Structure 1
Amino acid sequence: MGGWSIAVHGGAGVDPNLPVQRQEEAKQLLTRCLNLGISALRCSLPAIDVVEIVVRELETDPLFNSGRGAALTEKGTVEMEASIMDGPKRRCGAVSGLTTVKNPISLARLVMDKSPHSYLAFSGAEEFAKQQGVELVDNDYFITEDNLGMLKLAKEANAIMFDYRIPIGLETCGAGAMESALQMNGLPISIYAPETVGCVVVDSQGSCAAATSTGGLMNKMSGRIGDSPLIGSGTYACDICAVSCTGEGEAIIRGTLARDVAAVMEYKGLPLQEAVDFVIKHRLDDGKAGMIAVSNKGEVAYGFNCVGMFRGCATEDGFMEVGIWE
């Protein structure tokens, strides 16, 4: 057994022109969440508890795209989603379409622990939240000035803001034209856009767990469901590993990205980092995404095929890293 390890992410695909202050804020938040998880692991909390604690903290801070600060739908509301998975018995819980639940990841945990089901959505999930007595808040709590501004831009460009960034060459003319710009589904980016969050943990017993939470895409259609709450796509944990994904949800869904990491470990015998690299390279087609992963041997890994990924990882032997770029 290789001891415990933990990784967190705040989304894949980062504007290379992201202001340094924003980069520092993101790193500080990731470091705080990593330290929270490390403390829990040192107190011998099981992996499933640690991923929930860390993602709750990420949901409570409006910096990334989950809980407070969640991306807005075309109607200007939030429809949040999350999932959690406990590796040893492949138990899982997922939720979608939440509008008043302060911590979606904890409702996903309750779906796993307190319901006969794996996935609850929209009004049914909200009713279950009331029955379980979780903290509820008005939709306004989740809506930030930054996100209102981004929704306005997205609507003006008639575009959906994806969770990834691609530099492209733009043929432009006239005074002040840029030779190249960052474009997100038809919308040039000049501002920071929030990202999905996730956490993966293997505890000192070798048990793996994963959790992912998001507001989805800015200006998404009402009712759209992404990869984050889909077990096997955005989130997966089993006896050998745990994975949380981020990026272009539609591509992650098509590639069953999280499950494929476990599959190539099981069926090809690949070690963790090689499995992550293989899946990022061969399962995304033209999609842009990233992932974090841990194995039951205490290994930690990550990979992405876009400009950057907000991430942090730590292991029991003292290794710790927080980064954004390659």
Structure 2
Amino acid sequence: MGGWAIAVHGGAGVDPNLPWERQEEAKRLLTRVLNIGVSALRSSLPAIDVVELVVRELESDPLFNSGRGSALSANGTVEMEASIMNGNGRRCGAVSGLTTVKNPISLARLVMDKSPHSYLAFSGAEEFARQQGVEMVDNDYFITEDNIGMLKLAKEANTILFDYRIPIETCSVASQESPILMMNGLPISIYAPETVGCVVVDSEGRCAAGTSTGGLMNKMNGRIGDSPLIGSGTYACNLCGVSCTGEGEAIIRSTLAREVGAVMEYKGLKLKEAVDYVIKERLDEGMAGLIAVSSNGDVTYGFNTNGMFRGCANEDGLMEVSIW
């Protein structure tokens, strides 16, 4: 057994023009939540508890696209989703379409622990949240001025996404210099989903994973991405824990998170080999990234975008936070 390890991400696909101050702000947040996770692991908190704790921290900060600071749907509201999975027994919980639940990851945990189901969505998930007494806030709590401005630009350009970390005054609508990417055959502007996630293996070798997002800026109402889908955006088993980020539609098609566990299980690949394999062979033309841990204490990541907000640490003293 190789001891505990943890990784976090704040989304794959980073705009090359992202101001240095924003880059440093992201690194500080990733470092802070990593340190929270490391402290919890040193206190022998189980992997599943550490995942929930760290993702809650990321949801509560408006920097990334989850919880507070979530991307806005076409009608200007927030529809959040999250999932969590315990590799021990492969138990899981997921939620979608949340509009007033302060911490979606904790409601996903309650679906796993306190309901007979694995996945609740929209009004049913909100009703369950009220029954469980979780903290609820007005939808306005999640909406930032930056995102209101970016939704306006996205609507003017008739696209589902703008990179809403870039200050509005430096954004140009449908700039000819912006790379055009395709999603399900439709062009989108700069892709920067900024989903958050955390994967953990504790000192007992138990793996867990969690992912949380606000989805896509200017997305169609009711759109569900990969983040709450077990096996696509999130997966954990007795071998590994995986959280994905990037082009949700491509991650869904490839069941990307489960593929890591599958090639470890069926092809006998080590964690790093498995991650490299699925990023290269399973995404077709999609853009994505993922973080992963294995039950023997390995930790790694992979992405085919120009960058991914990420950080990892382990019991041996590794501690790194990077973007590019």
Name the TM tier (shorter chain): over 0.9
1:272 & 1:125 partners in 2: Cα distance?
A: 34
Q: Which runs of 4+ in 1 moved over 6 A?
A: none
| 1:33-82, Cα deviation, whole Å (9 max, x unpaired) | 00000000000000000000000000000000000000000000000000
Tell me, yes or no, if the aligned pair for 2:153 and 2:162 is still in contact at 8 Å: no
For the residue of structure 1 that corresponds to 2:25, the secondary structure is helix
Q: Distance in 2 between matches of 1:39 and 1:321?
A: 16
Distance 1:44 1:219 in 2: 42
Within 5 Å, give how 1:112-261 maps onto structure 2.
Answer: 112-161=112-161, 180-183=177-180, 186=187, 188=189, 195-261=194-260
Give the TM-score taking structure 1 as reference length.
0.93
Given that 2:8 and 2:34 are in contact with CA atoms closer than 8 Å, whether structure 1 keeps it comes out as: yes
After superposition, give the CA deviation of every residue in 1:268-323 in whole Å (9 maximum; x if it has no partner).
Answer: 00000110010000111110000000000000010000110000000001011100
Alpha-carbon shift at residue 114 of structure 1 (Å): 0.2
Deviations 1:154-186 (A, max 9, x none): 10111111789xxxxxxxxxxxx9874334555
- For the residue of structure 2 that corresponds to 1:182, the secondary structure is coil
Residue 22 of structure 2 is aligned to residue 25 of structure 1: no
Change in CA separation of 1:120 and 1:180 when aligned onto 2, cut-off 3 Å: same
Please tell me whether the aligned partners of residues 80 and 96 of structure 1 are also in contact (alpha carbons under 8 angstroms).
yes
Shift of the 180–102 alpha-carbon distance from structure 1 to 2, 3 Å rule, reads same
Q: How many residues align?
A: 311
Give, as a single letter, the amino acid of the residue that structure 1 aligns with 2:178. Answer: A
By how many angstroms is 1:14 displaced? 0.1
Partner secondary structure for residue 81 of structure 2? strand
Q: Is the CA contact 1:65–1:197 (under 8 Å) kept in the aligned structure 2?
A: yes
Identity, % of aligned pairs?
81
Q: CA 1:297/1:100 → structure 2, altered by over 3 Å: closer, same or farther?
A: same
- For residues 2-60 of structure 1, the C-alpha deviation after alignment (integer angstroms, 9 at most, x for no partner) is 00000000000000110000000000000000000000000000000000000000000
Contact preservation (8 Å) 2:193, 2:246? no
| SS of residue matched to 2:179 | strand
Is the partner of 1:153 in helix, strand or coil? Answer: helix
The one-letter code matched in structure 2 to 1:87 is G
CA distance, structure 2, for counterparts of residue 274 and residue 95 of structure 1: 31
Partner Cα separation in structure 2 for residue 309 and residue 183 of structure 1: 19
Distance 2:116 2:214 in 1: 25
Task: Work out whether residues 94 and 111 of structure 2, in 8 Å CA contact, stay in contact via their aligned partners in 1.
Answer: yes
Q: Following TM superposition, by how much is the alpha carbon of 1:243 offset from its aligned partner in structure 2, in angstroms?
A: 0.1
Question: Equivalents in 2 of 1:91, 1:76: separation in Å?
Answer: 34
For each residue in 1:233-258, what CA deviation from the matched residue of structure 2 results, as whole angstroms up to 9, or x when unmatched? 00000000000000000000000000
Specify the SS of the correspondent of 2:33.
Answer: helix
Q: Which amino acid aligns with 1:209?
A: A
Corresponding position of 2:6: 6
State the SS of the aligned residue for 2:241: strand
Structure 1 regions of 5+ residues with no counterpart?
Answer: 165-176
- The amino acid that maps onto 1:296 is S
1:302 corresponding residue in structure 2 = 301
